[in-house]
Amino acid sequence: MKLNDTAASWRKRPDGSAKIDGSFQYLTDKEVPGCLHARVKRSGIPHARLRRVYTAEAEAMPGVRAVLTADDVPGLNGFGIADPNQPVFVRDHIRFEADAVAAVAADTPEIAQAALDVITIDVEPLPVLDTPEKALHPEAVKLHPDGNILHETFHERGDIQAGFAEAAVVVEETYETPRQMHVFMEMEGGLFVPETDGTLTVYAPTQHGYKDRMQLSRILGWEEEQIRIVSSPIGGSFGGKDELNVQPFGALLALATGQPVKIHYSRKESVRAGLKRHPMKITMRTGVDKDGLITAHEALLVSDTGAYATLGGPVLQFATEHTISGYIMPNVRIEGLAVYTNNGISGEFRGFGGNQALFALEGQMDRLAEKLGVDPWEMRRRNLRQENDPGPLGQRVAPNDGPRGVWEAVQQSPLWKRPSFSRDKQEPWIVRGTGASIAMHGSGLGYGIPDPAGGELRLTPEGKIEAAFGHEEFGQGLVGTLEIMLLRHFHCAENDLLMTIGDTSTVPKSGSSTASRSTNMIWQALEYLVPPFKNTLFKRASALTGAAVENMETGAEGIRHKKSGALLVSYRRLAAEGSLKESTEFHFPLTPDPVMGGHFLYGSTAVIAEVEVNQLTGTVRVTGADHAVAAGSVVNPLGYLGQIEGGSIMALGFTLTEDAVMNDGVYQTGNLDAYLIPTIQDVPKHQAVEAVERLPEGDTYGPRGVGEIGSVALAPAICEAIYQAAGVRVTKLPVEREKLIREEALLEAWMDAEGAETG
Amino acid sequence: MVQTKQVWKPDGLQEAWETASQLKQDFCFVAGGTWLRTQWENGEHQPANLIALDDVPEMHASIQEDSRHLVIGSLTLLSDLIESPLVLERVPLLQEACSRIAAPSIRHQATIGGNIMSAVGDTLPVLLVYEAVFRWYDGTQIIEQPVEEWVQEEKAPMRLLLEIAIPIRERPEGTLSFFVKTGRRETFIPSQVTVAGMILTDASGSVYDAKLAAGGGSAVPARLHGAEALFLRSSSRKLFPALMHDQIKREFQPPGDVFASSEYKKRVAANLIVGEWYRKERGFVEAQ
């Protein structure tokens, strides 16, 4: 399906208009009369022993209602989805410049800020470990009790030495990727309300409400049920709000003061305190035989995970698997290290380590093909997996021929017919090139990580069919996609439906909204829920009307006669017969083989990019970036296209401009005037997206999510296009203009022109 | 963070001056405020007093022409300069420079005076090329100062910029004039390197006048007199691009920053200027 040409089947998303006209209310827009305002005091120094925090002056300020430090955390002074090793408030060891040392609640944001200004700390500075190399030094200060390595991965198969011995051509290269920022439009924040019944309501965006509830209960020393988390809608997340951020401070201050507390980070604070994509250094050595078949593949991945764990381990695990991706490789040795440093925290981010790994892997494929003298796309084909091949780590996976599907489909792009190199006639220093890449991307969390799912269908007393899921809407279009699925199942009217998400008081546990899993989980849940739900409706209708169940179908307003379409009984009338609820709980489809982090379901993508390099300045413009994506059937064409285009533009930023630069553990790009994301002027005017919907026969897993796959494979395609255009191999992102500027291009043009005139 | 405690709104030049004199310190004049806002956001000191210049009648926001100059009030908005037919006709490079500053919403609020007083604004290379003159109020009288003298001042005394006077010059057929700004993305960017130039040739193609300037980033915008002299010695057919390239790189001394080295910026400036000449020589630039 060519998604750009299917406008007729586009459905307007239910939350669209209000988001466009600005009337949409996010959780961070919430305020209640008399609520206090909170601010967090940060260490301001990347590495030190903390001796003392002086808060007396702040506490004495008029209008200050509470000042909290490490002594005021009743439960666990720590959080982290995988390992709660980030302190809410530092007690003695400052590990990064935005470590929290105190938090203040005051009558106004100005008073809270003034109070922060008079909180001082007594510290003993320590050497700043601002690179994994420094942190791995045997004499480096231990950042955590177990040392400075958060996680190690290892995968080996075949005989790597023999593999290299068989190789006709070997390429070795080291690839480096940037510290990319999520740049969601809504910064982290929320409202924390102590209720009269002794419970706490938290209105704060997050990708997994129940996980926040668990983490907060640990910090407060409360039962989970005492906390209600309202977590959607969210003004963008991309992984950046998966982990706790403001919640510990807001919750503790609300309980300390007994008053509602509002907290909302500024962009500057979000930059310093928030998660980033892991910068990785990946050294790869790959060999192919004379036919271009991979004989050996070796890689060392080192990720800078920053000060604390969050999901740095799983991200490395994912990157490890995706250094193999959709290729068949007999002899493999992959090692990964996630290293703690005094840099800002790296964590979960759309693509989850795949982006870094694929930049390296696809870079290898282009270099190998060139060295061997074969077409790079043809060489990829020879190495791609077949439908029933095992997964990247040798694990059993659902039959998958996606890579071959997209390999073929991307050739439909008009960019495919463009020359791989051309030079501008008027401005000969402008050179153009094209490049392509291919990737397979896992969905779900992978083997070894609990990945539960679930949902509920209910008939409300008002006669609405209510679908309740613990998933979150952060702009990806989940609500719109859910509505489409429900309409297809029930053929009812939009106003017969009620979609409930993002509130632990009303939704079941569905697992997190991450890892391209939500669409797939909802689809599967409805497959389980709808038949028994309809069955009960029909039985009730039959009892009330005497009509035969086999003549019934669901439709607008109620149960209708299959042939005539006449309304037999309304949903409201059926609801009067008593409550009706269907629930399901299941696990994301998992490989039967115990391979840590190995996936079972994958999407695939192929990308072709066209660039224009201006050699006077080294500037790169991406003039085309078309995608083919294989992820099963398209549920919501508008949402699908939006995800691929959005992911692609994010990847364009990752490749060309985005890097949260740190020097000595201090962010140098404090705001969006120095950290540059692409604007509309930086993106191609049109991006063709082709969806390959075909799934292997007998596949029952439904549509795969496409939340990440648009972002994973563009960088290597752009870099190959740059090489074709300018002859420079890029090994470090974002692309350095200093490597592409070439005054000879100008002087040569001059000589050529003079020559042409005199000759 | 110190919050601004008072905004003063003098309604005359003398009153503005006296307000500043009485405050002595911890004050700042403000027009559009867009640059100040960015600086405060980046942690620069936010003064306790702001003296707003909007109501000072001597400081105007108009674009007028007398017999020899185009006179622009320092409070003129960048968006008004972009839309002015007079600016387009007389000083088209200024129009181009303004249209490459920040984003539309900012250009609707930012003034040319503010862009100049930032000392690194994109209008400065253009004003250097046009040999503009600043008209200042120094507390007692109005004084004139060529822009080039001002950019070279180490520490300027307190003055209020009233007007910018740009000499009106004929641009004969075949004149090459250009403004090029580069940054780390296509638009809404701080400049990394900005160059501007105007090169006049006679009927035989020989250069008889050349004005070149470069700036960008935190570089002090400067005229490139050595490169100009080299152009003057060249007829169009006998320009040695490599020599010119070397001269510009020697002369332009931008500081490096987190994102680009000084060497890179020099190379960009040289490439852009020589590239413009190449385009003119090949007939790819419309004569103005």
> Under an 8 A CB cutoff, do B184 and A661 touch?
no
pLDDT digits over B23-33, tens only? 999 999 999 99
Range of the domain at B96: 63-167
Q: Which residues of B touch A268 (CB under 8 A)?
A: 41
Distance from CA of B222 to the nearest CA of A (A): 20
Q: Which pLDDT score is estimated for B3? A: 65
Beta-carbon neighbour count of residue A545 at 10 Å?
Answer: 14
The Cα–Cα gap between A659 and A137 comes to 26
Distance from CA of A133 to the nearest CA of B (A): 21
Q: For residue B2, what is the nearest residue in chain A, using CA coordinates?
A: A114
User: CA neighbours within 13 Å on the CB side: how many for A42?
Assistant: 20
Q: For residue B39, what is the nearest residue in chain A, using CA coordinates?
A: A673
- Percentage of residues in chain A having pLDDT higher than 90: 95
The Cα–Cα gap between B76 and B250 comes to 36
> Which of A505, A434, A429, A512 shows the shortest CA–CA distance to A707?
A512
Q: Which residues of B touch A679 (CB under 8 A)?
A: 185-188
Q: For residue B249, what is the nearest residue in chain A, using CA coordinates?
A: A743
Residue with token string 């500027």: A741
- Together in a domain, B71 and B157: yes
Instruction: Report yes or no: A668 at the B interface, CB cutoff 8 Å.
Output: yes
A280-384+391-446+594-743 — its CATH code?
Answer: 3.30.365.10
Span A360-368, mean pLDDT? Answer: 98
- The minimal CB distance from B241 to the residues A670, A671, A750 is found for A750
Q: Which pLDDT score is estimated for A757? A: 62
CA distance readout (Å), A66 to A37, A40, A55, A317? 10, 12, 10, 42
Question: Choosing among A431, A671, A739, A750, which should be mutated to test the B contact, i.e. which has the most B CBs within 10 A?
Answer: A750
The Cα–Cα gap between B138 and B161 comes to 9
Cα B212 from chain centroid (whole Å): 13
Q: Which pLDDT score is estimated for B288? A: 44
- Asked if residues B146 and B117 have their Cβ atoms less than 8 Å apart, the reply is no
Span A366-375, mean pLDDT? Answer: 98
Instruction: Report yes or no: A44 at the B interface, CB cutoff 8 Å.
Output: no
- Percentage of residues in chain A having pLDDT higher than 70: 99
Question: Going by C-beta distance under 8 Å and a sequence separation of 6 or more, which residues neighbour residue A50?
Answer: A43, A90, A91, A92, A93, A94, A101, A121, A122, A123
Query: Residue A530 corresponds to which tokens in the numbers above?
Result: 């709808």
Which range is least confidently modeled, A309-323, A456-470, A744-758, B79-93?
A744-758
pLDDT digits over A96-130, tens only? 999 999 999 999 999 999 999 999 999 999 999 99
b/e sequence A68-89, b meaning 16+ C-beta within 10 Å? bbbebbeebbbbbbbbbbbbbb
Query: Residue A60 corresponds to which tokens in the numbers above?
Result: 């004495």
- The secondary structure of residue A12, as a DSSP letter, is -
> Under an 8 A CB cutoff, do A663 and B258 touch?
yes
The percent of chain A in helix, strand and coil, each rounded to the nearest 5, is 30, 25, 40
Residue B2 pLDDT > 60: no
Q: Which residues of A touch B43 (CB under 8 A)?
A: 670
- Asked if residues A90 and A50 have their Cβ atoms less than 8 Å apart, the reply is yes
Is residue B215 assigned to a domain? yes
Q: What is the enclosing helix (H) or strand (E) of A475?
A: none
Residue with token string 């995968």: A155
Residue B230 pLDDT > 90: yes
> Higher confidence at residue A268 or residue B171?
A268
Beta-carbon neighbour count of residue A141 at 10 Å?
Answer: 17
* Count: domains in chain B: 3
* Domain at A452-587, CATH class: alpha beta
Q: Which residues of A touch B261 (CB under 8 A)?
A: 738
- Asked if residues A622 and A637 have their Cβ atoms less than 8 Å apart, the reply is no
Residue type, B153: E
- Together in a domain, B107 and B180: no
Give the strand pairing for A552-554 and A497-501. Answer: unpaired
pLDDT digits over A222-235, tens only? 999 999 999 999 99
Q: Which pLDDT score is estimated for A1? A: 77
Q: List all residues of chain A from 426 to 465 with a beta carbon under 8 Å from chain B.
A: 426-427, 429
Q: Which residues of B touch A682 (CB under 8 A)?
A: 185-187
> Under an 8 A CB cutoff, do A668 and B258 touch?
yes
Give the CATH number of the domain where residue B274 resides.
3.30.390.50
> Under an 8 A CB cutoff, do B1 and A113 touch?
yes
Q: Which pLDDT score is estimated for A691? A: 97
The Cα–Cα gap between B146 and A517 comes to 65
Q: Which pLDDT score is estimated for B235? A: 65
- Together in a domain, B26 and B101: no
Q: Which pLDDT score is estimated for B287? A: 44
- In the sheet where A497-501 sits, what is the strand order? A497-501, A465-469, A452-459, A580-587
- Together in a domain, B211 and B273: yes
CB pairs under 8 A between A and B: 86
The Cα–Cα gap between A659 and A642 comes to 24
Query: Residue B161 corresponds to which tokens in the numbers above?
Result: 């910029």
Q: Which pLDDT score is estimated for B203? A: 84
Question: Going by C-beta distance under 8 Å and a sequence separation of 6 or more, which residues neighbour residue B71?
Answer: B63, B64, B65, B163, B164, B165, B166
> Under an 8 A CB cutoff, do A671 and B41 touch?
yes
Question: Choosing among B5, B99, B178, B186, which should be mutated to test the A contact, i.e. which has the most A CBs within 10 A?
Answer: B186
The Cα–Cα gap between A366 and A349 comes to 26
Distance from CA of B149 to the nearest CA of A (A): 30
Distance from CA of B184 to the nearest CA of A (A): 7
Q: Where in chain A is the domain with CATH 3.90.1170.50?
A: 27-126+185-236+241-273
CA distance readout (Å), A703 to A391, A500, A697? 19, 21, 14
pTM to 2 decimals? 0.97
* HEC secondary structure over A407-446: HHHHHHCHHHHCCCEEECCCCCCEEEEEEEEEEEEEECCC
* Angle ∠(A682,A685,A689) on CA atoms, nearest 5: 110
- The minimal CB distance from B38 to the residues A621, A673, A743 is found for A673
The Cα–Cα gap between A49 and A68 comes to 19
- The minimal CB distance from A746 to the residues B3, B38, B271 is found for B271
* HEC secondary structure over chain B: CCCCCEEECCCCHHHHHHHHHHHCCCEEEECCCHHHHHHHHCCCCCCCEEEECCCCCCCCCCEEECCCEEEEECCCEHHHHHHCHHHHHHCHHHHHHHHCCCCHHHHCCCEHHHHHHCCCCCHHHHHHHCCCEEEEECCCCEEEEEHHHHHHCCCCCCCEEEEEEEECCCCCCCCEEEEEEECCCCCCCCCCEEEEEEEEECCCCEEEEEEEEEEECCEEEEECHHHHHHHHCCEHHHCCHHHHHHHHHHHCCCCCCCCCCHHHHHHHHHHHHHHHHHHHHCCCCCCC
Q: Where in chain A is the domain with CATH 3.30.365.10?
A: 280-384+391-446+594-743, 452-587
Query: Residue A630 corresponds to which tokens in the numbers above?
Result: 């294989």
Q: Which pLDDT score is estimated for B233? A: 84
Query: Residue A622 corresponds to which tokens in the numbers above?
Result: 């991406």
- Together in a domain, B112 and B183: no
> Under an 8 A CB cutoff, do A616 and B43 touch?
no
Residue with token string 């827009």: A29
A212: pLDDT confidence band, cut at 50, 70 and 90? Answer: very high
Cα dihedral across residues B255, B257, B262, B267: positive or negative: negative
Is residue B288 assigned to a domain? no
Give the CATH number of the domain where residue B92 resides.
3.30.465.10
Span A230-253, mean pLDDT? Answer: 97
Q: Which pLDDT score is estimated for A391? A: 97
pLDDT digits over A289-347, tens only? 999 999 999 999 999 999 999 999 999 999 999 999 999 999 999 999 999 999 999 99
B285: pLDDT confidence band, cut at 50, 70 and 90? Answer: low
> Under an 8 A CB cutoff, do A753 and B187 touch?
no
pLDDT digits over A714-731, tens only? 999 999 999 999 999 999
Q: Which residues of B touch A746 (CB under 8 A)?
A: 241, 245, 271, 274-275, 278
Instruction: Report yes or no: A70 at the B interface, CB cutoff 8 Å.
Output: no
**Cα end-to-end span (Å), chain A:** 54
Beta bridge partners of residue A276, listed in sequence order: A181, A346
> Which of A318, A261, A285, A294 shows the shortest CA–CA distance to A82?
A318
pLDDT digits over B172-211, tens only? 888 999 999 999 999 999 999 999 999 998 888 889 999 9
Question: What phi and psi values does residue A65 have, to the nearest 5 degrees?
Answer: -105, -25
CATH architecture of A27-126+185-236+241-273: Alpha-Beta Complex (3.90)
> Under an 8 A CB cutoff, do A679 and B186 touch?
yes
> Which of B51, B60, B54, B46 shows the shortest CA–CA distance to B17?
B51
Query: Residue B3 corresponds to which tokens in the numbers above?
Result: 């919050």
The Cα–Cα gap between A326 and A380 comes to 10
> Under an 8 A CB cutoff, do B185 and A682 touch?
yes
The Cα–Cα gap between A422 and A413 comes to 18
A734 prior amide bond cis, ω within 30 = yes
> Under an 8 A CB cutoff, do B268 and A616 touch?
yes
- Asked if residues A447 and A155 have their Cβ atoms less than 8 Å apart, the reply is no
Q: Which pLDDT score is estimated for B41? A: 87
Q: Which pLDDT score is estimated for B281? A: 81
Residue A49 pLDDT > 90: yes
